[in-house]
C-alpha cells in the first residue's frame, strides 16, 4: 500500500512538475527556467507537455466589459461572500 508520502510524491511529479514544467526551458525563449527542488526528486519529461511558443501581446489591454454591463450583473465573478463567510476552497470532501 502506498503511503501518504508516496501519494504526495506522485502528485508532485504528475501535477506540479509536469504542469509547471519545472526544470524545463521556458515557454518563451528569453525567460529563465525554474529549477526543480530536490524534495521529492521529481523527474518528468518536459516534452510530455505540448506547449507552444506564443507572442505574448497585450494581456492587460482595455476593460473586458467595456463599461457596458449593468451594475447588478457586472461580472459573475463578483458574486462572492453572499453569506459573509469569506472564501471557501473546493478540495474534495473527504469525510
Partner 1 sequence: MTSVGQDCGRDADRLGRGVDVSASADGDGAELAPPTSPWWLSGTPLEAEHQRLMRRRPVEVPWEQSTAGRLTDAERARLAGTWRRRAAAEYLAVSTFAVLSVDLVAARAPADVLSLCLRAGIDEVRHAELCLRMIEIYGGRRELPPPGMSSLPHDRNRPKLLQALANTMLVSCVSETYATTVLSATREVTTDPVAAEVLTAIYSDEVMHARLGWSYLRFALEEAGQAAIDAAAAMVPVALRGVANVVERERPEGEVTEAVRGHGLMTAAEERVIFSTCVREVLVPGFEALGIPCGSALDDYGDAWAHALDEVARA
Instruction: State the residues that interact with partner 1 by CB under 8 A.
Output: 1-2, 4-5, 7-12, 14-22, 26-28, 31, 34-37, 39-40, 49, 51, 54, 56-57, 59-60, 64, 74-82, 86-95
Residue pair 24/46 in contact (Cβ under 8 Å)? The answer is yes
Cβ of residue 71: shortest distance to partner 1, in angstroms?
11
Determine the Cα–Cα distance for residues 75 and 80; give it in Å rounded to an integer. 11
Closer CB to partner 1, 47 or 75, in the complex: 75
- Residue 14 DSSP one-character state: I
Closer CB to partner 1, 45 or 87, in the complex: 87
Closer CB to partner 1, 31 or 43, in the complex: 31
Cβ of residue 35: shortest distance to partner 1, in angstroms?
6
> Cα torsion for 6, 8, 12, 16, to the nearest 10°?
160
Residues 6 or more apart in contact with residue 48 via CB below 8 angstroms = 18
Amino acid at each position: 500500500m502506498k503511503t501518504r508520502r508516496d501519494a504526495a510524491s506522485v502528485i508532485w511529479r504528475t501535477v506540479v512538475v509536469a504542469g509547471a514544467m519545472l526544470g524545463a526551458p521556458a515557454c518563451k525563449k528569453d525567460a529563465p527556467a525554474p529549477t526543480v527542488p530536490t524534495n521529492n526528486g521529481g523527474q518528468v519529461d518536459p516534452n510530455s507537455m505540448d506547449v507552444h511558443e506564443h507572442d505574448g501581446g497585450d494581456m492587460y489591454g482595455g476593460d473586458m466589459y467595456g463599461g457596458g454591463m449593468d451594475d447588478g450583473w457586472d461580472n459573475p465573478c463578483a458574486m462572492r461572500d453572499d453569506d459573509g463567510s469569506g472564501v471557501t476552497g473546493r478540495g474534495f470532501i473527504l469525510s
